[in-house]
Amino acid sequence: MAEIKDIEVIKTTKSRFDPALLENPGFGVLFSDHMCSMDFSGGRWAAPKIVPFAKIEVSPALTVLHYGQAIFEGLKAFRTKDGRVNIFRPEKYHERMLRSCARLCIPPVDYNDFISGLETLLKTDSVWVPSKRGQALYIRPFIFATDEYLGVKVSDTYKFLIITSPVGAYYKEGINPVRLTTPGEYVRAVKGGLGSAKTPANYAASLLPAEEAKKKGFTQVLWLDAIEKKYVEEVGTMNMFFHIGDELATPSLEGSVLPGVTRDSVIHIAKDWGLKVVERKISIDEVFAASNKGILKEAFGTGTAAVISPVGEICHDNACVTINNGQTGPLSRKLYDYITGMQYGDEPDRYGWVHTING
Ligand SMILES: *Cc1c(COP(=O)(O)O)cnc(C)c1O
């Protein structure tokens, strides 16, 4: 167990809080009153502090602006019926943050600093955790290089911030299937590159292909492996699952796929439900063949923001398959209900994944 440290809290004198803001918070546009801030210099992280959410002044020569040495995380806090706040699997997100840090040469942040800073921030901004089902407080920890220097090198100084944003239900009417297309010539990540780290560079690489896909009416891009352009990898914000015959298959993590926490939760839960869950290579041809044979029951993406996102259609090389008649399938629905049930404290915390904060 981590020991929650005493953390300095500098409160804002100008709270922006208004309950009306939580009626329809949107996604990632509204920010709570405070943030957690911690600086690295002289070879060590200073203690985390809670400070008012505010603009930060930076040098135009800040290395992260030029060379992208940065990482981020994304997790959520939920308001339970009895008024407490649940964070879902914070250890797992922190563990991934450490792996991202290692790949980007960023000094690691201790779990104790991470969880103490986060808990204190959530207690300070408790009113910002919305209480309607489907709503949550999205938590965005991130670290960036702050040396002022134009040479390419590992920075000697960093800033770690946690900001939070009340978010509405990801889907207006329950869960709605998305349409995906493979990205033609473009690739997202290659084994040995940055694909398994949660770093802004991966998103920068995905913007143009995503824009082109959106112009053609697709929701997002379904990335294939960068070498053979044959195997399904992920969606860039979500990992992928295919219910084929009696098997629930997901692409294996081989260095170019981001190891999603929701992916890991789904694997555990589906196995406990008696499903045959396999992590393996899945070619796009297999997905199309399974659909033609009538054994592709469901496809869905997994990620913190949407939890489970059913896939209604996949297009590749001028051909398309419709999955489960473009409807949300029973397994997607059941997983969504079960995972959100655990997050809001309505289902028992069978796996010890729920970190509850009182008051
Ligand atoms: C964050 C992310 C995911 C989803 O991971 P979760 O931990 O389930 O939120 C999938 N792919 C990429 C590239 C991501 O950055």
- Taking CA atoms, 9 is separated from 2, 34, 47, in Å, by 20, 9, 12
Length in residues, the chain: 359
> What CA dihedral angle connects 106, 107, 113 and 114, to 10 degrees?
20
> What CA dihedral angle connects 262, 268, 269 and 275, to 10 degrees?
120
Mutate to test the pocket of ligand 1, among 88, 180, 258, 308 (most ligand atoms within 8 A of CB): 258
Per-residue pLDDT, 359: 55
Say yes or no: CB of residue 303 within 6 Å of ligand 1. yes
In the chain, the domains with their CATH numbers are 4-168 (3.30.470.10), 178-343 (3.20.10.10)
For CA atoms 293, 297, 303, 309, give the dihedral sign.
positive
Q: Nearest C-alpha to atom 5 of ligand 1 is from which residue? A: 260
Mutate to test the pocket of ligand 1, among 196, 233, 234, 237 (most ligand atoms within 8 A of CB): 237
Find where tokens 């404290």 sit.
Answer: 345
Say yes or no: CB of residue 343 within 6 Å of ligand 1. no
**Is this prediction's pTM over 0.85?**
yes
For CA atoms 250, 306, 291, 214, give the dihedral sign.
negative
Residue 173, C-beta contacts closer than 8 angstroms, at least 6 positions apart? none
pLDDT in tens, 303-351: 999 999 999 999 999 999 999 999 999 999 999 999 999 999 999 999 9
Say yes or no: CB of residue 239 within 6 Å of ligand 1. yes
Say yes or no: CB of residue 79 within 6 Å of ligand 1. no
Say yes or no: CB of residue 237 within 6 Å of ligand 1. yes
Say yes or no: CB of residue 206 within 6 Å of ligand 1. no
pLDDT in tens, 222-273: 999 999 999 999 998 999 999 999 999 999 999 999 999 999 999 999 999 9
pLDDT in tens, 136-193: 999 999 999 999 999 999 999 999 999 999 999 776 555 779 999 999 999 999 999 9
If you average pLDDT over residues 16-38, what whole number do you get?
95
User: How remote is the CA of residue 58 from the centroid of ligand 1, in Å?
Assistant: 28
Say yes or no: CB of residue 236 within 6 Å of ligand 1. yes
Say how far apart CA 205 and CA 190 lie, in whole Å. 12
Strands (E), the chain: 8-9, 34-41, 44-45, 49-52, 70-72, 75-79, 85-88, 136-145, 158-167, 178-181, 220-221, 239-244, 247-251, 276-280, 296-303, 307-316, 319-322, 354-357
Q: Nearest C-alpha to atom 13 of ligand 1 is from which residue? A: 236
Say how far apart CA 249 and CA 247 lie, in whole Å. 6
Say yes or no: CB of residue 198 within 6 Å of ligand 1. yes
231: which strand partners? Answer: 283
